[in-house]
C-alpha cells in the first residue's frame, strides 16, 4: 500500500494551511506528522483519509501497484482522532458489534480479545458510551482502530485524555498492531510517536 502526494496544498479562505507537499507513505513504515498546535497536522490527516479534499495537487492510493479509487480508499483505512465521534446511545458491546459489521477483525483478533485489551470490568460492556469518561472513550477509539483489518492506521493525538498508565497501554497496543500496515500519527508529543522512523514537519510546507 502507498499514499502518494503530489504538490498537495490545503487552504481555508485565503490562508494556506500547508502547500507544495510531495511525499510518499509506504507500506510497513510508521510516520509522525509533527508541528505545534494549530499548525495543520489534523488538516493534513483529514486530507490523507479523504474526509477533506486538497485545494491543489493530487493524492493517490496504491495497492499492489494498482491505483485505488478515492471513493474506495476508506476500506483500507482506520482512524482514531478527537474529532471521531462514538455512538453514545450504544452500549460498548453494541458499539463493538456495530463497528465490526463494517470492518474485519485484524488477523488473530476477536471480540473477546478486544474486550481483554480494553482492560475494563465486565459490567462496563453493558453501559452506554455516554456514561464513559473521556479516557475510556479514547481507549475505545484506539482499540477499534488498531484492531481492525486495515492497511493504513491514522492516529491523531492518540494519548489525549489518557493518564500515565493509559499512555503505556497505548504504546503496548500500537506495538502489538503496527506491523504489516502504514501507521501515520499526528502529534507534538514525543512519547506518542517515539517508535516512528519517518517524520513530516508540517511547518516545512507553509
Q: How far is Cα 36 from Cα 88, in angstroms, rounded to an integer? A: 31
Q: Does 197 reside within a domain? A: yes
Q: Does 59 reside within a domain? A: no
Q: What is the mean pLDDT of the chain?
A: 94
We report the CATH number of the domain holding residue 90 as 3.40.50.300
If you average pLDDT over residues 93-102, what whole number do you get? 96
pLDDT, tens digit, 9 for 90 and up, residues 196-205 = 999 999 999 9
Q: Does 18 reside within a domain? A: no
Q: Does 119 reside within a domain? A: yes
Q: Does 69 reside within a domain? A: no
Q: Does 154 reside within a domain? A: yes
pLDDT number for residue 1: 86
Query: What is the extent of the structural domain holding 176?
Result: 30-42+74-205
pLDDT number for residue 73: 82
Q: Does 19 reside within a domain? A: no
Q: Does 90 reside within a domain? A: yes
- Cβ pair 117, 147 in contact under 8 A: yes
Spatial CB neighbours of 138, under 8 Å, sequence gap ≥ 6: 80, 158, 159, 160, 161, 162, 166
Q: How far is Cα 65 from Cα 143, in angstroms, rounded to an integer? A: 30
Band of the pLDDT at 65, cuts 50, 70, 90? confident
Q: Is the pLDDT of residue 71 over 80?
A: no
pLDDT, tens digit, 9 for 90 and up, residues 23-55 = 999 999 999 999 999 899 999 999 999 889 999
Domain count, the chain: 1
pLDDT, tens digit, 9 for 90 and up, residues 152-203 = 999 999 999 999 999 999 999 999 999 999 999 999 999 999 999 999 999 9
Amino acid at each position: 500500500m502507498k499514499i502518494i502526494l503530489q504538490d498537495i496544498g490545503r487552504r481555508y479562505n485565503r490562508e494556506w494551511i500547508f502547500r507544495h507537499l510531495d511525499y510518499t507513505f509506504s507500506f510497513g513504515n510508521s510516520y509522525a506528522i509533527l508541528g505545534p498546535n494549530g499548525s495543520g497536522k489534523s488538516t493534513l490527516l483529514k486530507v490523507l483519509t479523504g474526509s477533506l479534499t486538497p485545494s491543489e495537487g493530487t493524492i493517490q492510493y496504491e495497492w499492489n501497484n494498482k491505483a485505488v479509487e478515492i471513493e474506495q480508499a476508506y476500506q483500507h483505512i482506520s482512524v482514531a482522532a478527537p474529532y471521531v465521534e462514538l455512538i453514545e446511545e450504544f452500549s460498548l458491546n453494541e458499539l463493538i458489534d456495530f463497528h465490526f459489521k463494517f470492518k474485519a477483525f485484524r488477523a488473530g483478533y476477536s471480540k473477546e480479545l478486544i474486550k481483554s485489551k480494553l482492560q475494563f470490568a465486565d459490567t462496563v460492556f453493558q453501559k452506554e458510551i455516554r456514561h464513559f469518561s473521556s479516557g475510556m472513550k479514547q481507549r475505545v477509539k484506539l482499540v477499534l482502530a488498531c484492531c481492525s483489518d486495515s492497511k493504513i492506521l491514522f492516529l491523531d493525538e492518540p494519548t489525549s485524555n489518557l493518564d500515565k498508565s493509559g499512555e503505556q497501554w497505548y504504546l503496548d497496543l500500537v506495538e502489538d498492531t503496527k506491523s504489516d500496515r502504514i501507521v501515520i500519527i499526528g502529534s507534538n508529543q514525543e512519547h506518542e510517536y517515539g517508535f516512528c522512523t519517518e517524520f513530516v514537519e508540517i511547518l516545512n510546507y507553509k
